Structure 1
Amino acid sequence: MLGHGLVRLPKIVAFSNGMVAKFSESMIPSFLVEPFGYVLTIAEFLLGVLLVLGLFTRQALTGSIITMMLLVLGSTMVENWTVINSQLIHAAVFAFLLWHTNYNNWSLDTIIKNKK
């Protein structure tokens, strides 16, 4: 997540415009696609930072799963079947990690919890 957001931040306008072009033949209107390109880039970056830090881990993993679900939906709308496998694997990894957050010993969440 962090890597995707990080490389897209400097070219966020071009990325969003590219998404509009890719979705021009889909049933999703461009007035929804364009802002989603901006939100997706920022969300991937922020969720990635939170996951790396281990801060708000459960919420970040839940947000990451929702992001992957939206990406699968979008890939389906443009019939980009080759990337769906990767997106589903990402979602499965995030779900696995969410299921095992009780082993999150080195996270900021755990450090903060133990100081209370």
Structure 2
Amino acid sequence: METTSFLFLRLAVAISMFGHGLVRLPKLTAFSNWMVGSFENSLLPKIIVTPFSYLLPIAEFAIGFLLLLGLFTKPSLIAGSLVMLALLFGTSMIENWEAIPSQLIHISLFALLLHFADYNSWAIDTLIKK
């Protein structure tokens, strides 16, 4: 039962990340412009925000895709945690307090999945190990 619970939780986080990236990739420039505009009055300089705004949807898509497959699960969970930490920091810099609970939930789920990664039986990672 633990392996099935892990699968459902991994898939839920994967779908969230994959979906965020998937909808942003086709409109990458518009997304970047929106994000740069959001940070206009923050302490973070445009030289940092601009590359991050282009990398974020790619990272979300890739992390979500890998988690959907259960491929490189542990590194993907670590990468997802790092993305969430960066988002938490940025969200704090623009004082978007409403978005923080969602990001905290995501990072909590990444950490929980990482802690229970031994239950990751329904995954390509498991097939590769055999």
Normalised by the shorter chain, which TM-score bucket? over 0.9
1:42 match: secondary structure: helix
In the TM superposition, structure 1's runs of 4+ consecutive aligned residues that sit over 6 Å from their partners are none
Alignment deviations for residues 28-54 of structure 1 (CA, whole Å, 9 cap, x no partner): 011111110111010000000000000
Instruction: Identify the residue that residue 100 of structure 1 maps to in structure 2.
Output: 116
Between the aligned partners of 1:48 and 1:95, the Cα distance in structure 2 is: 15
Query: Is 1:13 aligned to 2:29, yes or no?
Result: yes
Query: Is 1:28 aligned to 2:44, yes or no?
Result: yes
Q: How many residues align?
A: 114
5 Å-filtered alignment, 1:1-116, equals 1-114=17-130
| AA partner of residue 55 (structure 1) | L
| AA partner of residue 47 (structure 2) | F
Larger RCO, structure (CA 8 Å, separation 6 or more) = 2
Identity among equivalent positions (%) equals 54
Q: CA RMSD in A?
A: 0.5
TM-score where L is the length of structure 2: 0.87
Q: Give unmatched runs, 5+ long, in structure 1.
A: none
Q: Give unmatched runs, 5+ long, in structure 2.
A: 1-16
